[in-house]
Amino acid sequence: MVTNKVGRSVPLFVENLGNFAPYAGVFVTAPTGRRHATSIRRCLSTNNKLLPSIRESIIASGLKSGMTISFHHGFRNGDMLVNMVVDEIAALGIRDITLAPSSLQSVHSALIPHIRSGVISAITTSGLRGELAEVLTREMLLKYPVVIRSHGGRARAIESGELKIDVAFLGASAADEYGNMNGVHGSTAFGSLGYAMVDAQFADCVVAVTDNLVPYPALPISIPQTQVDYVVLVDRIGEPKGIMTGATRITRDPLELYIAAQATRVIEASGYFKEGFSFQAGTGGSSLAVAKFLKERMSETGIRGGFCTGGSTGYVCEMLHEGYFSAILDTQCFDLAAVESLRTHPRHIEMSASFYANPHSKACTAHITDIMMLGATEIDTAYNVNVLTGSDGVMMGASGGHSDTAAGTKLRLVTAPLIRGRFPIVVDKVHTIITPGECIDVLVTERGIAVNPSQPALAKRLAQAGIETVTIEELQQRAEKLTGKPEPLLQSEDIVALVEYRDGTLIDVVRRVL
């Protein structure tokens, strides 16, 4: 174990996972080597890609014990595919699988028996939730620690070959029998296939799974036939209700609205709210309200934005349609209104996870965005942010694009209530570092605004605009006056998860909670 740049003790080697370098700074660790060389499989005129069942596709793919499978998380908590595929893998007697989806949800708690029985022996994901997250934090179920990667970091790991995917099972709400697919048509439409694009490009074998086989060519082509080995038609790949709501609602919580109003003031005073500014709203409680307030200010001032990036919600799509923004670059649709916009609006387009956030791509949008709204389950006095583990130390969130966007965006703004439940949000040291403090510019809470001391110019601009700020230590004291100092967590030395920074170095570990 060595201590990394943010003071966390991380291993240099983990069995089965190999060597790791400690986190050394946001852009310090440069890429080496070349990308993973992808598999070549030809398809003759006489080949038939269409297979009658998941089971047939597992057999055809050549999946064997010890291999790695992947999925995208576009269906979110309505996903039926991961559980279906792992059930079949178990039934076929295959074991020791590494599960490498772009993220996991509560619905995947159904996997726990397959973990206990050894069908799944390793997991890498952006996040995990519910009972699955709980047991993986409290028990030593897996042979090897879970590897937590950011969306950009996962794209990087797949492209570099660090995460080699043997078989990708990619759900599509529309596909043709030659493998072209999208997520915008059909009864289980979920929107952007952005996260799946990297898997499709680099996995040795790609299986498209759909409940909606359409005539060739399935248009639009989000993932092309050239990357797909097999197509499987099943009854249903996802539960529409779990996939998404009609439209994400703007919060009515007065506390979140107040924080959003304060954040909007900060954005306006920051110097980045100007013609052509680019924006990532995120989906936290306050962030959509920030979009609404920004729209009001844009309407009043005549300022118009450039692109919006990241995931999309109906509200932001409406801003595109009304001309407030010029384009949406989308990895993931958060509601049906966003799916409809992606399907119909020519300036609302899908982007891959690599295009969005891969630090080692020739260009990622996260490096040229102006304003990013970030959330936090905890933030410490060095501005390090946790979005993975709760105040009880148990995994319950996701790394997502948090550290990716924070690394390159010009204004990195965290909004959070100062107290959540009975816990203070500002702490001495966050339980798990997802995003290092050097990437956070300002914290907006309902009880005060703190600017990172590394950003004196921003502090000055806020002062000039009459926005009062305090130190983050002052916010911490304000919180602790109400909650008291939180008790230290009871945890063992056992490492249940490794947290990779987006460049592949280790920024933190998650230890077993007792």
Q: Contact residues for its own copies (CB under 8 A)? A: 27, 30-45, 49, 159-160, 178-179, 206, 215-217, 219-221, 224-229, 276, 306-307, 326-327, 329, 346-347, 349, 351-352, 354-355, 358-365, 367-368, 407-408
- What minimum distance in Å lies between the beta carbon of 367 and its own copies? 4
**Dist. CA 168–CA 318, nearest whole Å:** 34
**Dist. CA 431–CA 379, nearest whole Å:** 9
Q: Which is nearer to its own copies, 109 or 173 (CB)?
A: 173
Q: Which is nearer to its own copies, 367 or 447 (CB)?
A: 367
Q: Which is nearer to its own copies, 75 or 324 (CB)?
A: 324
**Dist. CA 241–CA 244, nearest whole Å:** 6
- What minimum distance in Å lies between the beta carbon of 135 and its own copies? 37
Q: Which is nearer to its own copies, 8 or 154 (CB)?
A: 154
Neighbours of 87 (CB within 10 A): 17
Peptide bond into 220 cis (omega under 30): yes
Q: Which is nearer to its own copies, 197 or 499 (CB)?
A: 197
The H-or-E segment that residue 426 falls in is strand 426-427
Residue 275, judged by CB atoms within 10 A of its CB (0-12, 13-18, 19+), counts as: exposed
Alpha carbon distances (Å) from 102 to 2, 155, 407, 441? 28, 9, 20, 28
- What minimum distance in Å lies between the beta carbon of 230 and its own copies? 10
**Dist. CA 170–CA 179, nearest whole Å:** 11
* 3 state DSSP class of 363: coil
Q: Which is nearer to its own copies, 62 or 217 (CB)?
A: 217
- What minimum distance in Å lies between the beta carbon of 41 and its own copies? 5
- What minimum distance in Å lies between the beta carbon of 114 and its own copies? 29
Q: Which is nearer to its own copies, 455 or 469 (CB)?
A: 455
Q: What's the CA angle centered on 256, arms 255 and 261, to 5 degrees?
A: 100
Q: Which is nearer to its own copies, 346 or 466 (CB)?
A: 346
- What minimum distance in Å lies between the beta carbon of 473 and its own copies? 29
Q: What is the 3-state secondary structure (H, E, C) of 242-302?
A: HHCECCCCCCCCHHHHHHHHHHHHHHHHCCCCCCCCCEECCCCCCHHHHHHHHHHHHHHHC
- What minimum distance in Å lies between the beta carbon of 346 and its own copies? 7
Whether 205 and 167 have beta carbons less than 8 Å apart is answered as: yes
191: which 2 tokens? 């929107």
- What minimum distance in Å lies between the beta carbon of 67 and its own copies? 17
Neighbours of 91 (CB within 10 A): 11
